[in-house]
Amino acid sequence: MPTTNQTSLTDLAEPNQNHQHFKIFKPYGYLSQFLPESRKNKHLLGELFNFPDKTMAIGRLDHDSEGLLLLTTNGMMSYKVRDKGIEKEYYVQVDGAITVEVMSQLQNGVEIGINGTKYLTLPCKAFKLDGEPQLPTRGRKIRDPRHGPTSWISITLCEGKNRQIRKMTAAVGFATLRLVRVRIGDIHIDSLIAGEVVTLPNFDAVLKS
């Protein structure tokens, strides 16, 4: 399995030359990292592609989340893309028939818990999708549709607290069943299939958003 080395502070300070950038559709069940955690037998990004040395994920999607993930060998670019001014859009399948009132709560900010402390999320863009979006089938079945209706919504954040969207939908009474990131800045997931890797010339589209 291909592996990558962690980037040091010296690497971050060096001139940016011959760096490589990628976008991938992170599948369900993969960790957004290259080095395994102790005593955890989980799928890692290095199983998807022969990435160059010192490739790092820009931000993370948790084990159960899917979709657009950017990777780079340029540590400074990683800091720029993770800036709070860069939008990240997610398609979220929630358990139940979501209402206009609930969508308004999400838009205005809801109280969630972060490391044992209450936190009010920033106002965000959120709206209900007209139907199920065209996404690759998830590797694991969500649940039997006979258990009740579900809804698909779009949430766009400029912040990224740990498991924030799952906590936001739970705070308004709707459990997240599936979470897929579809956009970072102006870079979209497009028609990528789960596990697919695409080389990008640069991340200019992200920084212009």
Could you give the CA distance from residue 206 to residue 209 in angstroms, rounded to a whole number? 6
∠ CA 137-141-142, nearest 5°, is 100
Digit-coded pLDDT (tens) for 121-159: 999 999 999 999 999 988 777 776 677 899 999 999 999
In terms of pLDDT, which residue wins out, 39 or 202?
202
The structure's pTM equals 0.87
Partner residues linked to 21 by β-bridges: 72, 200
pLDDT, tens digit (0-9, with 9 covering 90-100), for 52-67? 999 999 988 999 999 9
Could you tell me the two tokens for 114?
Answer: 């972060």
| DSSP character string of 158-193 | S---TTHHHHHHHHTT--EEEEEEEEETTEE-TTPP
pLDDT bin (cut points 50, 70, 90) of residue 9 is: very low
**CB-CB contact of 51 with 23 (8 Å):** no
Active site residue 62: yes
pLDDT (mean) for 182-193: 95
Domains and CATH numbers, the chain: 9-83+187-207 (3.30.70.580), 88-184 (3.30.70.1560)
Find which of 28-42, 83-97, 167-181 is predicted with most confidence, using mean pLDDT: 167-181
HSE-CB for 123 with a 13 A CA cutoff: 2
Give the length of the chain: 209
Which one of the listed residues 11, 62, 64, 186 is annotated catalytic?
62
Please choose, from the candidates 165, 191, 190, 195, the residue with its C-alpha nearest in 3D space to the C-alpha of residue 178: 165
Average pLDDT, the chain: 88
What average pLDDT does range 22-32 have in this prediction? 95
Above 90 in pLDDT, residue 186? Answer: yes
